[in-house]
Structure 1
Amino acid sequence: MNGGMDMGGGGGGGRQELSADNVRGIVLALLSSGFIGSSFIIKKKGLRRAALASGISAGVGGHSYLKEPLWWVGMITMIVGEIANFVAYAFAPAVLVTPLGALSIIVSAVLAHFILNERLHALGVLGCVMCIAGSMVIVIHAPVEQEITSVKEIWHMATQPSFLLYVASVIVLVSVLVFHLSPLWGQSNVLIYTAICSLMGSLSVMSVKALGTSLKLTFEGTNQLAYPETWFFMLVVAICVLTQMNYLNKALDTFNTAIVSPIYYVMFTSLTILASIIMFKDWSGQSLGSITSEICGLIVVLSGTILLHVTKDYERIPQSRIGLYAPLSPTSATRLNGELLRHVEDDARRTDDEEKVLRRQEMY
Structure 2
Amino acid sequence: MAALAPERFEGPGDAASAALDELSRNFTYGASGTGNGSLSGEWYRRNQIHLFGVLLAILGNLVISISLNIQKYSHLQSAHHEHPRPLFRSMIWWGGLVLMAVGETGNFAAYGFAPVTLIAPLGCMSVTGSAIISVIFLKENLRASDLLGTTLAFAGIYLLVNFAPNITQNISARTVQYFFVGWQFLMYLILEILIFCILLYCHKRKGMKHIVVLLTLVALLASLTVISVKAVSGMITFSVTDKMQLTYPIFYIMFIIMIASCVFQVKFLNQAMKLYNMTMVVPVNHIFFTTSAILSGIIFYQEFLGAAFLTVFIYLFGCFLSFLGVFLVTRNREKEHLQQSYIDFGNIPGKQMLDKIQPDSNDLSYGSLPDGSDSTTSQSGEKKKV
TM-score, length basis structure 2 = 0.67
- The answer as to 2:302 corresponding to 1:281 is yes
The alpha-carbon distance between structure 1 residues 223 and 129, as it changes in their structure 2 partners (threshold 3 A), is same
The alpha-carbon distance between structure 1 residues 99 and 247, as it changes in their structure 2 partners (threshold 3 A), is same
The alpha-carbon distance between structure 1 residues 305 and 79, as it changes in their structure 2 partners (threshold 3 A), is same
Is the radius of gyration larger for structure 1 or structure 2? 2
Alignment map for 1:224-243 (pairs within 5 Å): 224-243=245-264
Of 318, 325, 328, the match for 1:297: 318
> Pairwise CA RMSD of aligned residues?
3.6
The alpha-carbon distance between structure 1 residues 50 and 199, as it changes in their structure 2 partners (threshold 3 A), is farther
- The answer as to 2:238 corresponding to 1:210 is no
1:33, distance to aligned residue in structure 2 (A): 0.9
The alpha-carbon distance between structure 1 residues 47 and 182, as it changes in their structure 2 partners (threshold 3 A), is farther
1:92 alignment partner, SS class: coil
1:32, distance to aligned residue in structure 2 (A): 1.3
- 108-117 or 215-224, larger mean C-alpha shift: 108-117
2:121 alignment partner, SS class: helix
Q: Which amino acid aligns with 1:278?
A: I
The alpha-carbon distance between structure 1 residues 149 and 303, as it changes in their structure 2 partners (threshold 3 A), is closer
The alpha-carbon distance between structure 1 residues 112 and 134, as it changes in their structure 2 partners (threshold 3 A), is same
Contact 1:217 1:223 in 2 (8 A): no
Who is 1:247 aligned against?
Answer: 268
- The answer as to 2:157 corresponding to 1:135 is yes
Q: Which amino acid aligns with 1:204?
A: T
Q: Which runs of 5+ in 2 are unaligned?
A: 1-24, 337-386
Who is 2:22 aligned against?
Answer: none
Contact 1:123 1:307 in 2 (8 A): yes
Who is 1:99 aligned against?
Answer: 121
Higher relative contact order (CA 8 A, sep 6+): 1
Q: Distance in 2 between matches of 1:228 and 1:38?
A: 37
Alignment map for 1:168-179 (pairs within 5 Å): 168-178=190-200
The alpha-carbon distance between structure 1 residues 220 and 269, as it changes in their structure 2 partners (threshold 3 A), is same
1:137, distance to aligned residue in structure 2 (A): 1.0
Alignment map for 1:96-175 (pairs within 5 Å): 96-112=118-134, 120-148=142-170, 150-175=172-197
Alignment map for 1:1-364 (pairs within 5 Å): 10-11=34-35, 14-15=37-38, 17-18=43-44, 19-42=47-70, 72-112=94-134, 120-148=142-170, 150-178=172-200, 180-181=202-203, 184-186=207-209, 189-314=210-335
Q: Distance in 2 between matches of 1:222 and 1:214?
A: 10
Q: Distance in 2 between matches of 1:270 and 1:118?
A: 31
Q: Which one has a larger percent helix, Structure 1 or Structure 2?
A: 1
Contact 1:205 1:272 in 2 (8 A): yes
Aligned residues: percent identity?
27
The alpha-carbon distance between structure 1 residues 182 and 265, as it changes in their structure 2 partners (threshold 3 A), is farther
Give CA-to-partner distance per residue, 1:34-54, whole Å, 9 cap, x none: 12233444556778999999x
The alpha-carbon distance between structure 1 residues 314 and 167, as it changes in their structure 2 partners (threshold 3 A), is farther
2:119 alignment partner, SS class: helix
Contact 1:123 1:311 in 2 (8 A): no
Contact 1:28 1:85 in 2 (8 A): yes
Alignment length, in residue pairs? 300
1:119, distance to aligned residue in structure 2 (A): 5.1
Q: Which runs of 5+ in 1 are unaligned?
A: 54-63, 316-364
Who is 1:59 aligned against?
Answer: none
Q: Which amino acid aligns with 1:218?
A: S
TM-score, length basis structure 1 = 0.70
1:282 alignment partner, SS class: coil
1:140, distance to aligned residue in structure 2 (A): 1.4
